[in-house]
Structure 1
Amino acid sequence: MPVIAGLAQHGQCEEALKLFYQMQQRGPMPNQFTFGSALKACSGVAAAAEGYQIHAHAVKLGLEGEVFTASALVDMYAKCGNTKDARILFDRMPERDEVSWSGMIGAYAQNGPAEEALGLICLMKREGMRMNPFALSSVLRACSDLAAPEQAKQIHVQAIYAGLESNVFVGSALVDMYAKCGSIEDSCLVFEDLPERNLVSWNSIIVACANHGHVMKAFELFDQMQNAGVKPDYVTFIGVLSACAHVGLVDRGYEYFNSMNRDHGIIPRMDHYTCMVGLLGRAGRLMDAELLIKEMPFSPDIVVWRALLGACAVHHNSELAARVAKHIFEMDPEDHVSYVILSNIYAAVGKWDEVAKVRKLMRDSGVRKEAGYSWIEVKKKVHYFMVGDPANPQMEEIYAELAKLTEEMKKAGYMPDTNYVLHKVEMDKKEHYLTYHSEKLAIAFGLINTSAGTPLKIMKNLRVCGDCHTAIKFMCKIVEREIVLRDSNRFHHFKDGICSCGDYW
C-alpha cells in the first residue's frame, strides 16, 4: 500500500505500523511490498517484537522468500541489533539485491563482529555484485573499529575500482577510517582530494585532527568550513572542544562553548558539557568542573560524572573522587569502569584500606574489572595481547625482545615508574608488572615481525599509563621507528623520543 510506504519513508513509523495492522484486520491481503514497508517501519523505531510478528505473518502467507520481503527482513533484524537471525535469513535468500547486501554489511559494522563485514565485502565481490556507497561506507566503519589499516587500504582500492572514491559519503568514511587506524596523514590527503565536501566530511576531518593532537589544524579547518558556507552543527563543536581539551586551552574552549548558542543557535548538549568538564578537570580546575555539572540545565548523566572522575585520577584528588563516585553508583551500581578508577585513585595516594573496601564492594556486587588489552595488525592479521596471556606462540621471543629493549632503555636513562603499579607488592614485582603491560607486548611483537624502519600502530582499550608513555618515548628513539598508539582517550604519535601529546593527556 503506497500510504504505508510513504509513512515509513518519511519517518512516521508508528503511524505506518498502525495502518498496516488496520489493513490486516479489514483491508486487502498484503503483498511483499506491503510487508517490506511495514518491516522498514519496524527498522525505523527498532521495534523487534513487532518485526517478529510481521515476519511470522509473512511466513504464513508464503512471502518470506520474496526478494523485497526478505531484504526488508534482513534490514529489520540488523537494525534491531539481531545480526544472528539477520545472517540466517541472508544466507538462505535465493536471490540477494543491493539492499540485502548493504543491510547485512551495515549490521556487522554497527553491531559486530566487524570482521564479518570485511568477509561479506569479499563475498559480495566474488558473486559479482556491484559495490555501492552504503556498503562501502559500512565496511570502512568496520575497519575503523578494528583499526586494521592494511585491510582498510584494500577496501580503499576497491572503492577506486568501483569509481566511488569521490562519493562524498565514501570519502567521509575514508577520512574517518584512516584517522581511526592511526594515519592522520592519509586522512588529510583523502579530505583534500574530495571534489565535494559536506557537513559529515568536514566534521570527520576536524574530529580526526583533534584526536591526533593536531589542534591548530582543527581550528583552521573549523574556520575554513564556515568560509566555505557550511554551517557547523553539534558534532563540529564536539570536535573543537575536544581539541581544546587535548592541549588544555581552557579560555579558547569557553569561547567555542559560549559561541554555540550566541553565534550559531546551537543549544549545548550533554556531550559538549562533558567536553568542558574534561577540559577543566584535566587542567586542574576540578572545582570549576564540578560547579559546571551542578549548573547544567539538565540532569547530568553517568558519562559527564565519569569525565570528572577521570580528572580526579589525573590529579589524585581522592576526596572529590569519592563524592563523584557516589553520584555514579546511584545511577549504576554496577559501573565497573568507575569502581576501577576510584580504586586506582585510592591506590595512587596510598589509601590501601579504601582500596580494599572498593574491591570488596566490587566482589560483593559481582562487578568485574575490564581487562586491559592491546592489538596490532601485522601482515593483514590482527594480533591481541593481554598481561599474563601466553596464547601467542612467539611469547618467548617477545619476552626476550622486551628484556633486551628494557636494558637499553635503562642505559639511556629510563627509570620504571612504580607509582603506576596499583597493587601492594614488593618493588621487584612492581617492575615486573610494568615490563609486561599489553602495549609493550604488542610493540615487541611488531618489532620482531616487521622490517626495520616500519612504523608500528598499536591500539589499546584503556588509557595508557604514565610509565608506558615514558617507556615508549625511549623505545621509539632506540629502535628508530615511529610508534603510533591509540588509547581510549586519544592518539599518541611517538617519534625521536617525543610524543605528539606533549605529555598532556
Structure 2
Amino acid sequence: MREEGVVPDKVAMVTVVFACAKLGAMHKARIIDDYIQRKKFQLDVILGTAMIDMYAKCGCVESAREIFDRMEEKNVISWSAMIAAYGYHGQGRKALDLFRMMLSSGMLPDKITLASLLYACSHAGLVEEGLRFFSSMWEDYSVRTDVKHYTCVVDLLGRAGRLDEAFKLIKSMTIEKDEGLWGAFLGACRTHKDVVLAEKAATSLLELQSQNPGHYVLLSNIYANAGRWEDVAKIRDLMSQRRLKKTPGWTWIEVDNKSHQFSVGDTTHPRSKEIYEMLKSLSNKLELVGYVPDTNFVLHDVDEELKIGILYTHSEKLAIAFGLIATPEHTSIRIIKNLRVCGDCHTFCKLVSEIAGRVIIVRDANRFHHFKEGACSCGDYCCLATGIRDDIPGNPDENAVYLDPFLPYT
C-alpha cells in the first residue's frame, strides 16, 4: 500500500494492528507502533484499544498498559480490553485493581467487562472473588448473566477441583448451554481425573457438535489417563468411521523478522542438527537439577523409553532450542503454540529459563505463560488445566479450545 503511494488512514492502521495481534508478532507490533507515532495518529478509543489488544496478544502486557495510560479518552471497551489483557497473562489481582479504578472513574461495566473479569479470576485461582462478582452482576451492575459468564464460572470452579459445584451450576441453568460450557467442564474433569462426570459432559458435547474431533480426543485422553485402553480404541475407531482428523500441533517463533514453524519430532528446519544438539545439551543440564520427564503426558500404551523420546521432541522444546541458538544471550524468547502446553513442557520451560538465564514467553491456545528464573507467572496454578497432549504424528491430538482466551475481541 505504501509502495503504491497510498497513505494509510486510521481504518487501515486499526486493521494492520488487528493483524499483528492475530500473529502475535512482537517485532511487527513495534514497527507498527513506531509508524503510528511518527505519523501522529490520534490514539483515540478505537486505535488505542486495538493497540492494547495487539501488545497483550504479542506477550507484552506492560506495553499494553502504557498505551492504555496514554489514552486521553477511554470507553468501556478500552477498560475491558486492558482487564482482559491482565486476565490472559494470569495477572488476576491487577485485573481486579483495574476494575476498581474503572468503577472509581464513573465508568460502568458491561457483559464483556464482567466476562473478562471472571476469566481473569479463573486463571489466577481467585475463586471466591469470581463467585462474588458472578452472584452480584445484576444487583450491582444491571448485567444479566449469559452462557459466557456461566462458562467462566464453571471453569473457575473446575480448575479449583470443585467439580460437583460446577456440575450443579450447569444443571441449574435456565439459559441454553453451549459447547464452550460443556467443554470447560470436560477439561476440568480431565484435569481432576473424574471419568464419570467426564462421560456426562462428553455426551452433551457430542450431541451439540458430533463432528468436532477435539471432543473425541479429549475423552480419549481421559480414558487413556485412567488406563482404559479399550475405551481409547473405541473412541479412535469412532473418529475413523466419521472421518474426523486432528489438528496437528505446531509452535512458531519469530527470529530476525521471520517466522519459524516446528511440529513434534520435526527435522525439516535447516538448523535441525544444531537444534537437537542444543536439546541434548539442555537435557544433560536439566538432569543435573533434577528434571525427570513426566511421561504421564504421553497418553499411549507404549514403553517408557518411547514416551520419553516423544516428550523430548515436542514442538515447544524444538522452538525454544532454536531460540537459544538463534538469538543473542539474555534476550527474551517468545513462542506461539496453536494447542495447549502440556505439563511436562511447562516444567521444561521453567527450568530452562533458570539455567539459560532467559525469559521465555509462551502464548498457547489458552493463555500466556511468562517463565523467568525458574518460575512461571501462573504460579503453576493454570498448568493443571493446560491440557494433556497426544503429540505422536498420525494420531489424534487435542485441538479444541473451549474457553476463548481473547474473549471480547476475537
TM-based fold match above 0.5: yes
Check if 1:231 corresponds to 2:115: no
Query: 1:288 and 1:440 mapped to 2: Cα distance?
Result: 37
* Aligned counterparts of 2:148 and 2:88: Cα–Cα separation in 1: 15
Mapping 1:468-479, distance limit 5 Å: 468-479=345-356
Matches within 5 A, 1:338-417: 338-417=215-294
- Are the aligned partners of 2:76 and 2:109 in contact in 1 as well (CA < 8 Å)? yes
| Rg comparison, structure with higher value | 1
2:213 matched residue in structure 1:
336
Match of 2:396 in 1: none
Taking the aligned partners of 1:165 and 1:345, their CA distance within structure 2 comes to 51
Q: Does 1:182 align with 2:43?
A: no
Please give the alpha-carbon distance, in whole angstroms, between the structure 1 residues aligned to 2:375 and 2:10.
39
Of the candidates 433, 440, 462, which is equivalent to residue 339 of structure 2? 462
- Residues 426-452 of structure 1 show CA distances to partners (whole Å, capped at 9, x for unaligned) of 111110000111111110111111000
2:160 aligns with 283
Q: Which amino acid aligns with 1:311?
A: A
Q: State the TM-score, normalized to the length of structure 2.
A: 0.91
Hey, what's the Cα distance between the residues in 1 that align with 2:267 and 2:244?
A: 25
- How far off its partner does 1:165 sit? 4.9
| CA displacement, residues 385-410 of structure 1 (integer Å, 9 cap, x when unaligned) | 10133321111111111111011001
Deviations 1:295-349 (A, max 9, x none): 1121201110000011011111111111111111111111111111111111111
Alignment partner of 1:166 is 2:43: yes
CA contact (8 A) 2:251 2:262 kept: yes
Taking the aligned partners of 1:385 and 1:278, their CA distance within structure 2 comes to 30
1:12-161 → structure 2 map (5 Å cutoff): 124-161=1-38
Structure-2 residue corresponding to 1:99: none
Instruction: State the shift of 1:167 in Å.
Output: 2.4
Structure with the larger RCO, 1 or 2 (CA within 8 Å, 6+ apart): 2
Is the CA contact 1:374–1:386 (under 8 Å) kept in the aligned structure 2?
A: yes
In structure 1, distance between residues paired with 2:175 and 2:311: 42
More helix by share: 1
CA distance in 2, matches of 1:247, 1:210: 8
Aligned 8 A contact 2:252 2:262 in 1: yes
Secondary structure in 1 matching 2:223: helix
TM-score, structure 1 normalization: 0.74
2:313 pairs with 1:422: no
AA aligned opposite 1:337 = G
Equivalent pair of 1:463/1:488 in contact (CA under 8 Å): yes
May I ask how many residue pairs the two structures share in their alignment? 382
Which of 430, 436, 441 pairs up with 2:318? 441
Match of 2:171 among 294, 303, 311: 294
- Is the 1:343–1:359 contact (alpha carbons within 8 Å) kept by the matching residues of 2? yes
8 Å Cα contact 2:121/2:156 also seen in 1: yes
Contact 2:282–2:352 (CA under 8 A) maintained in structure 1: yes
Query: Could you tell me the percent identity over the aligned residues?
Result: 46
Q: Secondary structure at the match of 1:343?
A: helix
Structure 2 residue runs of 5 or longer lacking an equivalent are: 383-410
Q: Is the CA contact (8 Å cut-off) linking 1:156 and 1:165 kept in structure 2?
A: no
Q: Is the 8 A contact 2:91 2:124 kept in 1?
A: no
Q: In the TM superposition, what is the alpha-carbon distance from 1:364 to its structure 2 partner? A: 0.9
Give ranges in structure 1 of 5+ residues lacking alignment. Answer: 1-123
CA distance in 2, matches of 1:125, 1:156: 16
CA contact (8 A) 2:262 2:315 kept: yes
The RMSD of aligned alpha carbons is: 1.1
Q: CA deviation at 1:500?
A: 0.7
Q: Is the 8 A contact 1:477 1:496 kept in 2?
A: yes
CA distance in 1 between counterparts of 2:10 and 2:216 reads 42
Q: In the alignment, which residue of structure 2 is the partner of 1:4?
A: none
- Aligned partners of 1:159 and 1:167: how far apart in 2? 12
2-side partners of 1:382 and 1:233: how far apart? 37
1:94-133 deviation digits (Å, cap 9, x = unpaired): xxxxxxxxxxxxxxxxxxxxxxxxxxxxxx2222323222
Map residues 239-318 of structure 1 onto 2, 5 A cutoff.
Answer: 239-318=116-195
Shift of 1:412: 0.9
Residue type at the aligned position of 2:241: D
Who is 2:96 aligned against? Answer: 219
Partner of 1:432: 309
Using the alignment, how far apart are the partners of 2:110 and 2:234 within structure 1? 45
Shift of 1:159: 1.0
Indicate conservation of the 8 Å contact 1:133/1:167, yes or no.
no
Partner of 2:397: none
For 2:116 and 2:160, how far apart are their aligned partners in 1? 18
d(CA) in 1 for partners of 2:111, 2:312: 42
Secondary structure class of the residue paired with 2:7: coil
Deviation at 1:213, TM superposition (A): 1.2
Cα distance in 2 for residues equivalent to 1:196 and 1:299: 37
Read off the aligned partner of 2:191 and give its amino acid letter: V
- Match of 1:126, SS state, is coil
Cα distance in 1 for partners of 2:333, 2:90 equals 18
- Secondary structure of 1:323 counterpart: helix
State whether residues 206 and 221 of structure 1, in contact with CA within 8 Å, keep that contact through their aligned partners in structure 2. yes
Counterpart code for 1:416? P
In structure 2, distance between residues paired with 1:215 and 1:322: 31
Output the CA distance in 2 between the equivalents of 1:188 and 1:219: 14
